[in-house]
Chain A
């Protein structure tokens, strides 16, 4: 059974860069799927951040594109998220997920990241 697990700091200071890694187990990241990041502010809805193919091809939410970088490390079966110049509005639970071209079929449990000084 495919499993995804997010990891990274739970607290980030304003104006700094948020960094998270998703480790994929039970299957290879080098398959015909994309791998995505989605976030959920406390008590609010879901927002897609961006996705990456194992070859490195990426696409991002236009509203976050200027601050987001997603990368992949096939040797570690991992992909990562970097979000720069964070503010309190970036406080959220961040999920990683396997993505088809039109849905997300496997999700991680989520990682809460708080932006605060």
Chain B
């Protein structure tokens, strides 16, 4: 099972919006509505930001939103803030044999 494909980096100015894509196959992203997104600051453990494609856990700002079309999921950060600068990883359920597959990771830079 190959890792999901994400852009290596994206950047934006404070207040702008950025979107991170996560491309898989019909066996993972396209086959289930079980895509999650994680934020990771340097030296820290990942934090769940989005689950079930578009749901936000309690405490996650509504600036973070998720969506999916076909085999590609997306995370959008609106009103970019300096604290959003971090690495972001997508993850998809991939069936009862593989279970979970993560994305390659995207570094978000706030200019």
Contacts and interface: CB of A to CB of B under 8 A. Distances in A.
Do A and B associate with each other?
Answer: yes
A117 interface: no
Interface in A80-117: 95, 97, 100-110
A102 B104 contact: no
A104 B92 CA distance: 11
Contact of A105 (B51, B97, B104): B51
A2 interface: no
Nearest to B45: A107
Contacts of B89: 45-46
Contact of A51 (B32, B48, B99, B104): B99
A104 B98 contact: no
26 contacts: A45-B89, A45-B103, A45-B104, A46-B38, A46-B91, A46-B105, A47-B102, A48-B102, A51-B99, A62-B1, A63-B1, A95-B45, A95-B46, A101-B93, A102-B32, A102-B36, A102-B93, A103-B36, A103-B51, A103-B52, A103-B91, A105-B48, A107-B46, A107-B47, A107-B48, A108-B45
The 10 closest A-B pairs by CB, nearest first: A102-B34, A103-B36, A107-B45, A48-B100, A46-B102, A103-B51, A102-B93, A45-B105, A105-B48, A109-B45
Interface of B: 1, 3, 32, 34, 36, 38, 44-48, 51-52, 57, 89, 91, 93, 97-105
